[in-house]
Amino acid sequence: MNQIPLKPENERFTDEQWQAIFDQGDNLLVSASAGSGKTTVLVRRVIEKLKMGVNLDELLIVTFTEAAAREMKERIQEALQEAVNTESDPIRQQHFTKQLVLLPTANISTLHAFCLTVIRRYYYLIDIDPVFRMLTDETETILMKEDVWDELREAFYAENREEFFRLTMNFSNDRSDDGLTNLVFSLYEFARANPDPEEWLTKLSESYRLENGLADSDLYKTQLRPLILADMHQCVQLYEEMVQLAQEEGLEKMYDQVSGEKGQIQVIYEHLLQDQIPEAYSGLEALTFTTFKSSRKAELKERSAEVKELRDRAKKIIQQLGKNYFPVSPEQMEELTQKAYPLVKEMTKVTKAFMNGFSQRKREKGLLDFNDLEHFALQILTKKTDDTWLPSEASDHYRKQFKEVMVDEYQDVNQLQEAILYWLREPNETNGNMFMVGDVKQSIYSFRLADPSLFIQKYEAFSKTEGGRRIVLAENFRSRKEVLSFTNLVFEQIMDPVVGQISYDDAAKLVLGFPDFPETEQFEPEILIYEKEQEETTIELPVDDILEDKTEGELFMTGLKIRQLIDEKFMIYDKKMKKNRPIEYRDIVLLTPTKKNNLTILEIFKTFDIPLEMNDAQNYFQATEIRTMVSLLQLIDNPYQDIPLASVLRSPIVGLIEPELARIRLADRSHTYYEAVLAYQAEHTDELADKLNHFGEQLEIWRELARRSSITDLLWSIYYQTGYLEYVAGLPAGAQRQANLYALVDRAKSYEKSSFRGLYQFVRFIEKMQEKDKDLAEPVLASVDNAVRVMTIHASKGLEFPVVFLLDMTKQFNLQDLRKRYAFEEKLGAGIRYMDPDTRVLYDTLPYQAIKLAKQNKLLSEEMRKLYVGLTRAEQKLFIVGSYKNKEETLKIWSEVANQTSLVLEPSTRLKGKGSLLNWIGYSLMRHPKMKEYAEDTTVHNQLGQSESRFSITWMKQQDIVENRQSLASETKKELESVKVDQTPLQESLKARLAYSYPYKASTQTTSYQSVSEIKRLFEDPDDTSDSKLVWENNEKRRYNQQFRYTQDTLAEPKFLQKSQKISAASIGTATHYLLQLLPLEMPTSDSIRSLLEELVAKRLVDEKVAKKIDLSGILWFYQTDLGKRLVQHSELVKREQPFSMLLSADQVFDQYPNEDDELLIHGIVDGYIEFPEFIELYDFKTDYISNGENQAEIEKIVQKYQGQLNLYKKALSEALDKPVTNVYLILLGAKKIINLNK
């Protein structure tokens, strides 16, 4: 150990932090408890390294998340910038400046990111293509895995081997072989967390041989035997205590009974100590518990009750012993385990085949996933010579480069990552350069295959200075002493190496590090419990006040407490302001074990007017709008699906009601619902049939689009055609719903960037995600500024909040994984249940027993660590919320620990199968002196725990909640009524504001950019070619003082509201103009016109239905007129579809326009003109329907309609080309008439 500099007197760091910053020359493990400032220490250590002359590129700093890496870089940058600004030595200042330059490329990242750097630099050492793409999209990964597995499974079936069929039968059922699929995928993922997956898989079957019998197997000796002996030893101790108590005069019968049972149990214990398992099993089978012989004498009743309670506990231990360890005889267990051996061999063979097949598929496609990064990096860093692993040139390079390897959150590293770090650090233990910081009590990422045992091994070894040194940071600078002492009180009784995997000793206890919190009595942790079992009462509750389940009860309690804190202006200490202030919503967080109750939280907190900030408020695929769109996509892929079809028909996209759906089914009861729809369409002509016809036409369009376009285009088409995007915006939480729909497009786009294509695969992916109960996150909207935050305990790790509510703390531990037919463990391997092929009965094998128990212990240990994380998020006030059926029964359960003498509660208490986090807390509080206030009828013989710890427990029934809610509502109403302010000044101010007349209102009622088509209806014909004002049509005249816009939007009815879509006159006109534009200026014939139109339809430039409505005879007629022939004769002078723009003052366009300085930019497109050397002839086609071409009044009306528009064209052409427009022809194709508007 090097010489640590003396800590200045005014230095804020503790002695332990100071040591962690400066200690050198050895591997260091810093065990940093919650709130102990580990990140600050890590950053300061980096800066001190740089001050010693080390460069940033000579340090490897590994973080757990990218966000942590960014924060680390930001903190180092701030510290370096300060060092540059304050350093007086120019050489050192230059050195710090250099580090700022190196910072962007410094190796401060996640381990995955560093592995990617290694691969890109040394790819040639393992012969992989340097041009690869990261497989980051879960969609692509899942589909690729399933494709590989489908091919592989078919190949295995084709081999027709008995071993594979037996394996399939053992893990699947009569309906499907999904059980085998899940097994292979799970085993593959688990194996890949090991440095050598192939070797790990190969060794799995070894524990099934049992060549030297059950007692001599490693699994029994290392896993089962210690647990069995521990339980039996506890049982013997209980009987010794019983015998002592039963020696009192008058309890002779009881004494004889318990002494006899003790002798039997002692014999069984001796057999187990000598590994005589068959004899022990026989003893357990023969052991019976007769009726307890208690004393009827009043003075002996209490002693009898004590003995009975101890005996009941011993009986439970014996019963669990038989259930957990001896479900069958030792001989049967050996036989079953050996029978499972070929199954395990086949299981590893199939998993290896899948692992290699998936790896090959990724290699073919040039893809790497995150796990590949680690495995390839490890391959690059090592080389094998004569079965010995040695460092490669890459490892030598990095070992020379890195003066120190720093690892944050070391408790979350797995075996594979540990192996990578080994080949990067200094191999000489006496001169170690590893700096590891973390807290094993906060290791809660087992689902990512984190292995906290790596931390624990070093924690124990380094305490003896074997291979390194250990530094413990116990001082907590985050929380008040009430939070810390409560956390210590709980964990010193429930956490030890058996459950929790580490001792919660004096070194692990939290120590107050921030003493500046003001002293007050109101910050004791509060436990809020909803009592589900209701008392009989004559009071009839309003329907709205009846609570449906325990979740609602807990949430209403929480909502009432939050309103109380806010309304009473509960004071908290602000560390930045350094003074007390009233609590705000943003100071509060609700921490939940899972997200499943988030929707209920939203609904209930709305009733309290409590603003919430919540991500993932509901499952993405369960959102109504997404379910509707997924159903529609399924329907487009295959319309013969009843449920998606009914869902879409009932949705706002079609808008049918239940009776209409029933009428459709009556049209055809025996076939699919789609066939019933077709039958109804064929048999009826009513409004329902029109809706179905319209939807059917649209569905065919989408199906065609799906075949030839991307899913992204398809979704946008659906949104546009149905107006569904706009529809959901009008629903509650409309912004979130729209964001969900946009996210579906983004996810489709991401999917199509992968190697998979097509609607079928996309729909299949979504269905697979739903089948496996997986989901995608909802897109996150902007956060609310002042709101109560809601998040999971996992998401809260590393964060802190002034006030914390831990919700759903009576949720039973999730032990679903223990009910599967298989279990995996890093060191113990794989355990499977064996199915007898004749009886189809499942039996536990020895490895399964051992691994299941080890896994159960690990799961419960992680639940315990989750509780630690939850409790230590609180800075000042902690609330723990749960629910029980009955108060008395709950206190009775908790009081089971009342006579336990050890500080740490017995393992059997903590390992209960139906346990919960609040049960653990209840057990740990039961022996506290304060519990006398809450359990008056319970006798506690051993009062343990910290007497300075304070807490309170509140029990509430439904009636209590209703009364509190009514009281809250009443107080709110009174408060509002008490606020009587003279509203007259405000009313006068509002009246003045409402009466205000904006002087430039006319400018707001039209746009400065106008098309001729927009304003054409406003005009009459100006006087010849003069520039006199354009006046309004009499029937549409709009005066300035009438509060209308000068031009009105002609918005079409949204398509999702239209009953049917008819071909509009505008569509026909547009298509006709397009045809005339492209028609060659040579004498056309009927065939040439029709041929061009068919070509436009074939190219999808003109809709087929619209094309049928075009009057081809009118076009042919025009080219036979003098004007038509003149166009053909002077084709080189003809200009068609010519755009123009011109600037006019607004008062030239509108009569009585008040703002003289306003100008309008008029734009339009001229159908055509002939530009002769001296003059211009203008023409314009119109396709208006005219019932009688000889009706002069109808012709005049058409002329009046377009006179102003053509005058604008005439004016624009004349000014642009500086020539007179001598003729203006209005060509009415429907009436086959040409009118010269200049005549």
Question: What are the residues whose beta carbons fall under 8 Å from the beta carbon of 490, sequence distance 6 or more?
Answer: 867, 871, 920, 921, 924, 925
Distance of CA 972 to the CA centre of its chain: 37
* Whether the Cβ atoms of residue 488 and residue 482 lie closer than 8 Å to each other: no
β-partners of residue 801 are 874
Is 748 annotated as a binding-site member? no
The tokens for 631 are: 């159903």
DSSP state letter for 430: G
Encoding tokens for residue 578?
């350094």
Among candidate residues 751, 765, 766, the one with its CA nearest the CA of residue 143: 765
CA distance from start to end of the chain: 109
Rounded-to-integer distance, Cα 144 and Cα 147, Å: 5
Amino acid at 371: N
Neighbours of 668 (CB within 10 A): 18
798 marked as part of a ligand binding site: no
Alpha carbon distance 976, 795 (integer Å): 39
Ligand-binding site membership of 696 (annotated): no
Task: List the structure tokens of 91.
Answer: 């050489």
Strands (E), 532-622: 571-574, 579-582, 588-592, 612-614
923 with 931: CB under 8 angstroms?
no
Instruction: Copy the structure tokens of residue 11.
Output: 């230095």
Contact yes or no for 483/876 (Cβ under 8 A): yes
Q: Which of 601, 608, 602, 563 is nearest to 583 (CA)?
A: 563
β-bridge pairing 842-844 and 829-835: antiparallel
- Residue 512 DSSP SS3: strand
CA–CA separation, 6 and 21 (whole Å): 12
Residue 523 backbone phi and psi in degrees, to 5: -105, 15
Dihedral over Cα of 513, 516, 522, 528: its sign: negative
Count of helix runs (H) and strand runs (E) in the chain: 47, 30
Q: Is 885 annotated as ligand-binding?
A: no
Q: Which H, E and C letters describe 711-730, residue by residue?
A: HHHHHHHHHHHHCHHHHHHC
| Segments in 711-842 forming alpha helices (H) | 711-722, 724-729, 734-752, 759-771, 793-796
Q: What angle do CA 1125, 1129, 1130 make, to 5 degrees?
A: 120
Residue 38 assigned as binding residue: yes
167 residue type, one letter: L
- Alpha-carbon distance of 721 to 1061, in angstroms, equals 11
Going by the DSSP 8-state scheme, the letter that residue 274 receives in this structure is T
Are the CB atoms for 144 and 358 separated by under 8 Å? Answer: yes
Spell out the residues 6+ positions from residue 615 whose beta carbon is closer than 8 angstroms to its own: 777, 778, 780, 791
1233 is in an annotated binding site: no
35 is in an annotated binding site: yes
Axis crossing angle, helix 330-364 with helix 277-286, rounded to the nearest 10: 120
Q: Does the annotation place 33 within a ligand binding site?
A: yes
DSSP classification of residue 1062: P
Cβ-Cβ contacts under 8 Å for 1034 (sequence gap 6 or more): none
The residue among 1070, 1055, 1156 whose CA lies nearest residue 1109 is: 1070
Rounded to whole angstroms, the Cα distance separating 722 from 699 reads: 11
Task: Please state, in angstroms and rounded to a whole number, the distance separating the CA atoms of residues 407 and 429.
Answer: 17
Task: Please enumerate, as own/partner, the contacts of 567-571 that have beta carbons within 8 Å and a separation of 24 or more.
Answer: 567/968, 567/971, 570/522, 570/877
Q: How many CB atoms lie within 10 A of CB 768?
A: 14
Binding positions = 32-39
Give the residue ranges of the annotated binding site for ATP. Answer: 32-39
